[in-house]
A and B are shown apart, each in its own frame.
Chain A
């Protein structure tokens, strides 16, 4: 059963931050609540105060500019999935959204809420890591920026201090000749990932050499992680099948998955070995067409 709490629905970001500052550790932010309400029902989280930012329309936007794309934290998954500019410039983000839970959940749940939930199996984090996203976090004492790959600290724990609120996700403009893809392995389509992999490959103009590569793993460690050693296997080289296989094996050494009802640790490591080469190969094919 959900325990009673006091509910505040601030109308502006300023009001929201003042409430968070006032109640600190005793309060929790709710937006769509698609993850939080489940934890509350299980009695895992029982805040005294809830700051409800679902109505903060000033944080619901997708803005495209020269330096990239800005997504407000309270933007729903469904808005991202349907956004014409995202489908055109960051198709991987829309593709990821169509695989996130169900339509009903995507209609009410938000990208900011998902990222702040800090579930290592969440869909957006690996994609945002592959896209080299940055987060803006606000507090009454000012704002700070943090790369998305540093935001998750541990299982369901993110780098938000008392009184802070995630306000925006920034995606840099994709470099030329870049392809990014995402997939998750799961038994039931709308479930969380057993293991997920996002890969982004940037090719040098004309020479086919892998100028830059970003590989992110979901549900393979306490947080979504970047497989930097696997990236090092590929960076600066012409990608071959042998190198892809090696990258998969190296990525498995960077993963530290758990065993649970969905899969054993060994099975997840095997998935990393299979999915990293497969996704990097697809990202490469996309980069060649880009």
Chain B
């Protein structure tokens, strides 16, 4: 039996009916139609499905969609303001902090969560911040460089 799920994704309200077994990642990709959030390992190991749920980073492959009822979800599509990329997105581009790009949405969400909590992390704290995200092209150094550039204030928030 389907149940009602009312929540916001990137500020947009949704009111949909889902089977209770539906996972948050499935709702975001298949029902809301935002495919930036990736479904990788499907077992909360890889972090490609990371989104923000009420301001906290979570792995959307391991959250029941119904648990997001009443919540605010932000996906990678919600980081840019109009056509203006977020500072982290710009820094990722400039530093080549991606290769195949599959881990990038998750990396961006984890880095965004990190900088929201701690705007001035050390290198070790940046590493800890993306600890739950795997990049199989082994681009960690460039990702850390990109986050560091934002921490140093080289990228400004769009007005």
Contacts and interface: CB of A to CB of B under 8 A. Distances in A.
Nearest to A38: B43
Q: Which of A41, A103, A108, A190 has the most CB of B within 10 A?
A: A103
Nearest to B55: A107
Given A105-B44, A105-B59, A108-B58, A9 B23 contact: no
B121 to A, nearest CB: 12
Interface residues on B, range: 20 to 34
Interface of B: 1, 3, 19-21, 23, 42-44, 47, 50, 53, 56-59, 62-64, 66-67, 69, 110, 113, 128-129, 131-133
Interface string A102-146: 111101100000000000000000000000000000000000000
Decide if the interface of chain B is mainly helix, strand, loop or mixed. mixed
A38 B19 CA distance: 18
B133 to A, nearest CB: 8
Contact of A54 (B1, B67, B110): B67
B42 A102 contact: no
Contacts of A5: 20-21
A104 B44 contact: yes
Interface stretch (A29-37, A59-67, A204-212): A29-37
B62 A37 contact: yes
28 contacts: A5-B20, A6-B1, A6-B20, A34-B44, A34-B62, A37-B62, A37-B64, A38-B44, A38-B62, A41-B42, A52-B66, A55-B67, A78-B56, A102-B44, A102-B47, A102-B131, A102-B132, A102-B133, A103-B57, A103-B128, A104-B50, A104-B58, A104-B132, A107-B58, A108-B53, A108-B62, A108-B63, A190-B132
A109 to B, nearest CB: 9
A229 interface: no
Nearest to B63: A108
Contacts of B64: 7, 30, 33, 37, 52
B159 to A, nearest CB: 30
A38 to B, nearest CB: 6
Interface in A39-62: 40-41, 50, 52, 54-55
Interface of A: 2-7, 9, 30, 33-34, 37-38, 40-41, 50, 52, 54-55, 78, 98, 101-105, 107-108, 189-190
B132 A103 contact: yes
A52 to B, nearest CB: 7
Given A2-B21, A37-B44, 20 more contacts: A3-B21, A5-B20, A5-B21, A7-B20, A41-B42, A52-B64, A55-B67, A102-B44, A102-B59, A102-B131, A102-B132, A103-B57, A103-B131, A104-B47, A104-B50, A105-B44, A105-B59, A105-B62, A108-B62, A108-B63
